[in-house]
């Protein structure tokens, strides 16, 4: 039981929701932020039912700084100063770069990179003012290190590569304040984002193909990468900062050629 204040962006579904559930089991106070306010509130209610000391669900678009600042301040006012932050909100709009509309590029970068920056910025302000340190986890991706075989992920890959670079910089900048900053690197996971660029009718076939390519032979359940996040959002990882915890079923360990 930790009773720490944890802020989660993109907490209305997927890995963010699973992190909220797991943090609830250890008795944390949880602020769930999501662009879909109703989904954020549902996760908050579920977390209370699973043992969270207190929760709040807040509608928040991480690309809009006033919304992020207000949501984090509201979380601190109602639950206490955040100790842990999971900067997780993300999206993907696929397309080859020469065909990708600039507006789509901007949207992906705004959500996946600027959203992480804004979340970290305003959470850090609260954590630094409190002076007790904390732990921040950002969601990166295998796409930060290698190109997806299916292609057409230039904007997504660029955004996640930048998140990984930001994590390393923040880890060094704030180590002296006892604030740790790490990234989780989930592989193929059964979430809505996984199928963002796949027509619904093709999902079963694509799922089968992906399972055949992942060394462990399956997609992850959202709770599996969530366990990695929760470990980083705990004192058990007290000497871990600036690192990437890969939870990808072996994807990054596998060569792309069959020899």
For residue 144, being part of any structural domain is answered with yes
Q: Which pTM value belongs to this model?
A: 0.96
For residue 92, being part of any structural domain is answered with yes
* Separation of alpha carbons 92 and 112, rounded Å: 9
* Residue 2 confidence (pLDDT): 72
For residue 256, being part of any structural domain is answered with no
Q: Name the domain count of the chain.
A: 1
Please state, for a pLDDT cut of 90, what percent of the chain lies above it: 92
* Residue 1 confidence (pLDDT): 61
* Separation of alpha carbons 222 and 140, rounded Å: 15
- For residues 95-122, one letter each, b for 16 or more C-beta atoms within 10 angstroms of the residue's C-beta and e for the rest, the string is beeeebeeeebeebbbbbbbbbbbbbeb
* Residue 256 confidence (pLDDT): 81
pLDDT in tens, 148-176: 988 999 999 999 999 999 999 999 999 99
pLDDT in tens, 24-41: 999 999 999 999 999 999
For residue 29, being part of any structural domain is answered with yes
For residue 138, being part of any structural domain is answered with yes
Enzyme catalytic residues: 156
* Residue 149 confidence (pLDDT): 86
Return the CATH number at 90. Answer: 3.40.50.720
Does the pLDDT value for residue 66 go beyond 80?
yes
* Residue 235 confidence (pLDDT): 96
Report residue 39: phi and psi, to 5°: -65, -40
* Residue 176 confidence (pLDDT): 98
Closest CA to 29 of 51, 10, 11: 51
* Residue 203 confidence (pLDDT): 93
CB 229 within 8 A of CB 125: no
- For residues 62-94, one letter each, b for 16 or more C-beta atoms within 10 angstroms of the residue's C-beta and e for the rest, the string is bbbeebbeebbeebbeebbbbbbbbbbbbbbbb
For residue 126, being part of any structural domain is answered with yes
Which tops the pLDDT comparison, 247 or 196?
Answer: 247
Find the domain containing 62 and state its range: 5-251
* Residue 215 confidence (pLDDT): 96
pLDDT in tens, 74-124: 999 999 999 999 999 999 999 999 999 999 999 999 999 999 999 999 999
Question: Residue range 206-226: average pLDDT?
Answer: 96
For residue 64, being part of any structural domain is answered with yes
Q: How many CA atoms lie within 13 A of 38 on its CB side?
A: 0
For residue 258, being part of any structural domain is answered with no
Q: How confident is the model at residue 195 (pLDDT cuts 50, 70, 90)?
A: confident
Quickly tell me which residue has 């790490």 as its tokens. Answer: 182
How many other C-beta atoms are found inside a 10 Å radius of the C-beta of residue 25?
Answer: 13
* Residue 145 confidence (pLDDT): 97
Asked which of 5-19, 97-111, 198-212 is least confident by mean pLDDT, the reply is 198-212
Q: What is the mean pLDDT of the chain?
A: 96
Burial class (CB in 10 A: 0-12, 13-18, 19+), 21: buried
């Amino acid at each position: 039981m930790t009773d720490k204040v944890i802020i989660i962006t993109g907490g209305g579904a997927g890995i963010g929701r699973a992190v909220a559930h797991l943090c609830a089991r250890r008795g944390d106070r949880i602020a769930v932020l999501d662009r879909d306010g109703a989904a954020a509130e549902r996760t908050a209610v579920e977390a209370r039912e699973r043992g969270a000391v207190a929760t709040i669900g807040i509608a928040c678009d991480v690309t809009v700084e006033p919304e992020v600042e207000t949501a984090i301040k509201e979380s601190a006012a109602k639950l206490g100063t955040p100790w842990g932050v999971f900067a997780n909100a993300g999206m993907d709009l696929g397309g080859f770069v020469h065909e990708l509309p600039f507006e789509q590029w901007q949207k992906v970068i705004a959500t996946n990179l600027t959203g992480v920056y804004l979340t970290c910025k305003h959470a850090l302000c609260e954590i630094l003012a409190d002076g007790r340190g904390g732990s921040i986890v950002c969601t990166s991706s295998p796409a930060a290190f290698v190109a997806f075989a299916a292609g057409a992920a230039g904007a997504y890959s660029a955004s996640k590569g930048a998140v990984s670079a930001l994590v390393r910089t923040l880890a060094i900048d704030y180590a002296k304040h006892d604030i740790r900053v790490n990234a989780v690197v989930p592989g193929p996971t059964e979430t809505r984002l996984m199928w963002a660029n796949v027509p619904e009718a093709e999902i079963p076939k694509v799922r089968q193909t992906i399972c055949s390519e992942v060394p462990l032979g399956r997609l992850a359940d959202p709770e599996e990468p969530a366990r990695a996040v929760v470990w980083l959002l705990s004192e058990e990882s007290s000497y871990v900062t600036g690192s990437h915890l890969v939870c990808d079923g072996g994807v990054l360990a596998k060569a792309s050629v069959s020899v």
